[in-house]
Chain A
Amino acid sequence: MITVQQVVFALFAVLTLGGAIGVVAARKLFHAALWMVLAFFGVAGLYLLLEAPFFAALQLFIYIGGIAVLTVMAIMVTRGIMKPKEPVFTYAIGAAGTALAFLVMLGLFIFKTPVWDVAAPTGEVDPNGLRALGQALVSPSAYLLPFEVASVLLLAVLVGALFIAREKE
């Protein structure tokens, strides 16, 4: 029997995968960026289905609101790369084959592994989940250090990218 949940899942899955295929198949970079928005949207839906509304919101804000919009803008202000070039597709089949093989390999991992340490879904949203997450990120006995390293990483990228991209005066 197909439940509503399954139907919704299928919908979001198609959205995500279709978007992803669109990204690699689109001839124009601009179109690819738009397909990417679609894929991001699908992922946000999957988060919702997994009862993680916070992540769904983050996905919408950061990926669609931030990254995707930035990408689109970057493409629009950059001339010359809007036009498709032939050699881009030299690798299409090779890349597709490789990706397929990779997928098979990942599938093996997922389906052949005997035990996955996944808690059975409780059907309820843990009201403290978000709080626990926030605390873990700043607790010295949990993820404080990785969190800070991530911020150094972003700083490095920001400074470096600015320098590389800056017009030479």
Chain B
Amino acid sequence: MTLDSMAWLMLLPPVLAFWLIVLFFNRWKRLSHWTAIGAAFISFVLAQGIVIAGLRMGAEALAERPIHSLLPWLPTGATVLSLGVWIDPLTVALLFFVSITVLAIFVYSVGYMHGDPKYSRFFAFISLFAFGMFGLVVADDLLMLFIFWEIMGLCSYLLIGFWYHKPSAYRAAVKAFLTTRIGDVFMLLGIAYLYSQTGTLSYDVLFRNHEVLHRLATTPSVIGGLSVAALAGLLLFAGTVGKSAQFPLHVWLPDAMEGPTPVSAMIHAATMVSAGVYLVIRAFPLLSAGLGGAAGTPPKVAMGVIGAFTAFFAATIAVAQRDIKRVLAYSTISQLGYMIAALGVGAYVAAAFHLVAHAFFKALLFLGSGSVIVGMHHHQDMMEMGGLRKKMPITFWTFVAGGFALSGFPIITAGFWSKDEILAEAFHAAMGGSWLGWFVYTLLALGALLTAFYTMRQISLTFLGEPRSEHAEHAHETPWTMTAPLVVLAFFALTFGFVGVPEDFPVLGPLFGGNFFHHFVGATLMEEMETTPLNWVPLTISIVFALGGLYFGWWVYGRRPLEAGAPDPLERALGKLYTVLENKYYVDEFYDRLFIQPTIRLGAWVYKWIDRGVIDGILHTVAKAAVVSGQLFGWVDRVVINGGVDSAARGVGRMGEEGRRGLQTGLVQDYIFILAVFVILFVLVYFVRGAGL
């Protein structure tokens, strides 16, 4: 079997499973989940097959000649927008973690969704989701990427609102859908713009053809000062801001936690959101094409600023959350910010590395929190937990593994290596004299400290100390279908980092094959990426911050466990600031005031205006025109004004009192009147312009 046919085949099982379950199997729960898991397993095997084959081929060969196969689908004139698969080293890296996490979610769902009335439907949705994710990863052009992007958006909408009878879930679903759509519209504009400029959307041309890149980077765009590449890049990045929940479009993700399950939460928090980061990694050659200011091209500056700010901003919010899932949600936003910021300072490989590592440990944490929630009989407030360490040992230890990876615990966690690479690159950029480098480094380093702190806070509040409520008292370990995925993911969360140990790191560097990941993924760009030399300054700072944050978290929450009903110690220490953080800086309220309320009011006003204003205006104008022309001719004045116009004006006034007004008066006379006005007006306009009356 050739690699490209494997890639095509890999897409089929999930979508088949979706239709089978929706159309035929939805009455049989076991059949449904076996269908879904079977499909996911087949895709998993095929994906890993591609990964192995890709590794065998070697990075250079694969980057030089990516596996590319086309299926004609939408021919538009001269250029064919065709369906195609594209496998290069970056795709391989993505396939590796996507297939593992997807399979883990599927197995885990069997336990988590047990007994849900809409069990089968859930499996149908996540199958469709898997289809979207796989398709996105192997897509060979931006249109196909966008289609799968939207399929995932649809799934996320369906899954967040899965328990639609809960109003909060439904509202969250709509919010997520609309918020991400804002980004998508910009992104689609970007895609359209690229298409109109180049006549193609294929990666091969847009991101690999130096001539095209050069042309795009040097052609000025419709907006002054920006090249076509920069403008298109910014528009594409807007899609990422929506999908990956970056400031200011981050508001949907925490609400998405209203969604019923940590499973769905993890789908769109740990897996789907990485699609946004994947987009900017994929489009990196375009985003960095051309020259910008000292800090880099405009898209890179935007990524650096927004990413770093989001990373820090979300981390501060995470510190003051009480809901176990919300902490993880803000943590996700923050970590995605790291990746975006990394791209902003040009750390292409580091971003991809952190993307993969983060997917493992964040999936682990979400599934772990789900396990806790099941154990706690669906209570999510961390203040009511505590002491779960003994009741749920597997969950505890795996959660600790994930938490330490998230904090960047030195050497033995994947998060350490990946986050450190980002920080090292940012520091390197700062040393190079870039203000963006300084900005990114400072915020990310502070963010790392906060990350370690809130992670330890979460672990302490949840697992350490004594039970603080009835439910925590009676918590129990979850079934193997839930714990087995945890163990598998914990393994990767701890060890995955070793594929990317810097070459010049003492002992470990040579031991683990000299930063294999960097060379493999870095080859995608087809130019030698020099590895940043090991610098002990940022490394030391990272280690100190990670350990310091963890220790500080333990010092506040773990050393003297919280009593039941006691307030958060931080609340006393931070005072008003704590309230601000707890309320997420009031961004939602701000948006409500600034956008949503005015939009509703504007909508009402526009309707009123069109409805009442325009037609009245036209009718009055006609009446007035009659008056004016009447005054011109005296005899008309006597005959018409006294008799007709007054009554017409009265008639108009009378009509004004009759309830239904405006364009849609229900009176066919008005409709015909509008037709006549249109015809007369336009004919006269053309006449005046053409013949100069």
In the complex they form, whether A and B have CB atoms below 8 Å apart is answered with yes
Please encode chain B, from 220 to 254, with 1 for each CB lying within 8 Å of some chain A CB and 0 for all others: 00000000000000000000000000000000000
Please classify how large the interface on chain A is, using the bins under 10, 10 to 19, 20 to 34, 35 or more: 10 to 19
Do A91 and B676 have beta carbons less than 8 Å apart?
A: no
- A103 closest partner in B (C-beta): B680
Instruction: Please tell me if the beta carbons of B684 and A97 are within 8 angstroms of each other in the complex.
Output: no
Indicate if A94 sits at the interface (CB-CB under 8 A).
yes
Would you call A90 an interface residue if the criterion is a C-beta within 8 Å of the partner chain's C-beta atoms?
A: yes
| Ranked 6 nearest A-B pairs via Cβ | A93-B648, A90-B651, A93-B644, A98-B676, A101-B680, A105-B683
Name the interface residues of A83-138: CB closer than 8 Å to any CB of B: 89-98, 101-102, 105, 108, 112
By a CB distance below 8 angstroms, the chain A residues around B645 are 93
Cα of A55 to Cα of B399 in the assembled complex, Å: 96
Assess the A93–B626 pair: CB atoms within 8 A: yes
Q: Judging by beta carbons under 8 Å apart, are A98 and B677 in contact?
A: yes
Which among A90, A92, A94, A102 is the interface contact of B680 at CB below 8 angstroms? A102
Complex formed: what's the CA distance from A97 to B640 in Å?
12
Cβ–Cβ contact A97 & B622, under 8 A: yes
* A97 engages B687 (CB within 8 Å): no
Candidates B622, B687, B691; contact of A94 at CB < 8 Å: B622
Query: Across the interface, which residues of A come within 8 angstroms of B648, CB to CB?
Result: 90-94
- How near does chain A come to B666, taking the closest CB pair, in angstroms? 14
B669 within 8 A of A: yes
Q: Can you pick out 19 interface pairs between chain A and chain B where the beta carbons lie within 8 Å of each other?
A: A89-B647, A89-B651, A90-B654, A90-B655, A92-B644, A93-B647, A94-B623, A95-B669, A98-B622, A98-B677, A98-B680, A101-B680, A102-B676, A102-B680, A105-B679, A105-B687, A108-B683, A108-B687, A112-B687
In whole angstroms, what is the CA distance A101 to B626 when docked? 11
Q: In the complex, given contacts A94-B619, A96-B644, A108-B683, what are 14 additional A-B residue pairs having Cβ atoms less than 8 angstroms apart?
A: A90-B655, A91-B669, A92-B648, A93-B622, A93-B623, A93-B626, A93-B640, A93-B648, A94-B648, A98-B622, A98-B673, A98-B680, A105-B679, A105-B680
Nearest CB in chain A: distance from B652 CB, A:
8
Is B544 an interface residue when CB atoms closer than 8 A count as contact? no
CB-based nearest A residue for B618: A94
Q: Which residues of A contact B570 (CB under 8 A)?
A: none
How many chain-B residues does the 8 Å CB contact rule pick out? 23
B580 is an interface residue with CB less than 8 A from chain A: no
Which positions in B face A, CB cutoff 8 Å?
619, 622-623, 625-626, 640, 644-645, 647-648, 651, 654-655, 669, 673, 676-677, 679-680, 683-684, 687, 691
Q: What is the CA–CA distance of A96 and B625 in the complex, to the nearest angstrom?
A: 12
Q: How far is the CA of A156 from the CA of B470 in the complex (A)?
A: 78
B673 touches A112 (CB 8 A): no
User: Which residues of A lie under 8 Å from residue B623 when comparing CB positions?
Assistant: 93-94
| Cα-based distance from A90 to B346 in the complex (angstroms) | 72
Q: How far is the CB of B680 from chain A (nearest CB, A)?
A: 5
For A139-150 the 0/1 string (1 means CB < 8 A from B) is: 000000000000
Complex: how many Å from CA A145 to CA B466? 93
| Majority SS at the chain B contact face | helix
CA distance A37 to B124 in the complex (A): 73
Q: Which B residue's beta carbon lies closest to that of A101?
A: B680
What is the CB-to-nearest-CB distance from B450 to chain A, in angstroms, rounded to a whole number? Answer: 70
Inside 8 A of B676's CB, which chain A residues have their CB? 98, 101-102
Q: In angstroms, how far is the closest chain B Cβ from the Cβ of A115?
A: 15
Q: Are A112's CB and B691's CB within 8 A?
A: yes
Q: Which residues from chain B contact A112 at a C-beta distance below 8 Å? A: 687, 691
Nearest-neighbor residue (CB-CB) of B688 within chain A: A108
**Which residue of B has the minimal Cβ distance to A89?**
B647
Of A93, A96, A97, A112, chain B has the most CB atoms within 10 Å of the CB of A93
Nearest-neighbor residue (CB-CB) of A94 within chain B: B622
- Kindly provide the distance from the CB of B338 to the nearest chain A CB, expressed in whole angstroms: 67
- Given the complex of chains A and B, what is the CA–CA distance between A93 and B625 in angstroms? 11
- What chain A residues lie within 8 Å of B640 (beta carbons)? 93
Shortest A84–chain B CB gap in Å is 14
Complex alpha-carbon distance, A93 and B680, angstroms: 17
Nearest CB on B from A99, distance (A): 8
Q: Complex: how many Å from CA A54 to CA B478? A: 98
Cβ A97 vs Cβ B654 within 8 A: no
Per the bound structure, the CA–CA distance linking A132 and B655 in Å amounts to 54
Q: Is the CB of A94 within 8 A of B673?
A: yes
Across the interface, do B626 and A97 meet the contact criterion of CB distance under 8 Å?
A: yes
A90 to B625, CA, bound (A): 17
Q: Is the CB of B651 within 8 A of A91?
A: yes
Q: Mark A149-162, 1 if CB is under 8 A from B, else 0.
A: 00000000000000
A112 and B691 alpha carbons, distance in the complex (Å): 9
Q: Tell me, in angstroms, the Cα distance from A58 to B676 when the chains sit together.
A: 31
Residue of B nearest to A112 (CB): B691
**Which of chain A's residues have a CB closer than 8 A to the CB of B669?**
91, 95
Complex CA gap A152/B651 in Å reads: 43
CA distance A101 to B685 in the complex (A): 13
CA distance A91 to B655 in the complex (A): 11
Collect the chain B residues with CB atoms within 8 Å of residue A89's CB.
647, 651
Interchain CA distance A28-B684 in the complex, whole Å: 36
Tell me the minimal C-beta distance from B358 to chain A in angstroms. Answer: 68
Inter-chain CA distance A96–B676, complex, in Å, is: 12
Q: Measured between alpha carbons, how far is A105 from B679 in the docked complex, in Å?
A: 9
Residues of A within 8 A of B619 (CB): 94
Which residue of chain A has its CB nearest to the CB of B691?
Answer: A112
The complex places the Cα of A141 from the Cα of B378 at a distance, in Å, of: 81
* B687 / chain A contacts, CB cutoff of 8 Å: 105, 108, 112
Which chain B residue shows the least CB distance to A109?
A: B683
Query: How near does chain A come to B490, taking the closest CB pair, in angstroms?
Result: 76
Most buried by B among A89, A96, A102, A105: A105
